[in-house]
Amino acid sequence: AQSVTQLGSHVSVSEGALVLLRCNYSSSVPPYLFWYVQYPNQGLQLLLKYTSAATLVKGINGFEAEFKKSETSFHLTKPSAHMSDAAEYFCAVSDSRIGNEKLTFGTGTRLTIIP
């Protein structure tokens, strides 16, 4: 079975400050890892994904994440927060085997940007 744990259900940062959202995974097989963002009353939008290529993954809107196998982590970062980054962020894991790409999500982290 696979799972992800997101540390911190709420994170607040000042505009222009570093954003760090934490995600740790558990998987018995090599995982694929994802970060999704959800704006109010909308569906989930893919930010970035790790699928066993480069361990540092760059996504949309200036976000990036680094896969660290030794730490079983896939933390999401952005150097400088913008007001438009306020949203809920979900880390997700899936099996890397073909045909098993259904996602298991974490409980989410709500990001608030302080002006």
Partner 1 sequence: EAGVAQSPRYKIIEKRQSVAFWCNPISGHATLYWYQQILGQGPKLLIQFQNNGVVDDSQLPKDRFSAERLKGVDSTLKIQPAKLEDSAVYLCASSPAVATSSYNSPLHFGNGTRLTVT
The token duo for 31 is: 């995982």
Q: Does 22 bind partner 1 (CB under 8 A)?
A: no
| Single residue of 44, 59, 72, 86 touching partner 1 by CB under 8 A | 44
Q: Does 105 bind partner 1 (CB under 8 A)?
A: yes
Q: Does 51 bind partner 1 (CB under 8 A)?
A: yes
Given the complex with partner 1, which of 1 and 83 has the nearer CB atom? 1
List the beta bridge partners of residue 110.
10, 88
Q: Does 40 bind partner 1 (CB under 8 A)?
A: no
What's the CA gap between 36 and 24, in Å, rounded? Answer: 15
| Single residue of 12, 101, 112, 114 touching partner 1 by CB under 8 A | 101
Give the Å distances, CA to CA, from 80 to 44, 60, 107.
Answer: 22, 14, 24
| Single residue of 49, 59, 62, 77 touching partner 1 by CB under 8 A | 49
Given the complex with partner 1, which of 17 and 24 has the nearer CB atom? 24
CA 59 to centroid of chain Cα atoms: 10
What's the CA gap between 104 and 61, in Å, rounded? Answer: 23
What's the CA gap between 36 and 71, in Å, rounded? Answer: 21
Binding interface with partner 1 (CB under 8 A): 9, 32, 34, 36, 41-46, 49, 51, 90, 92, 98-99, 101-108
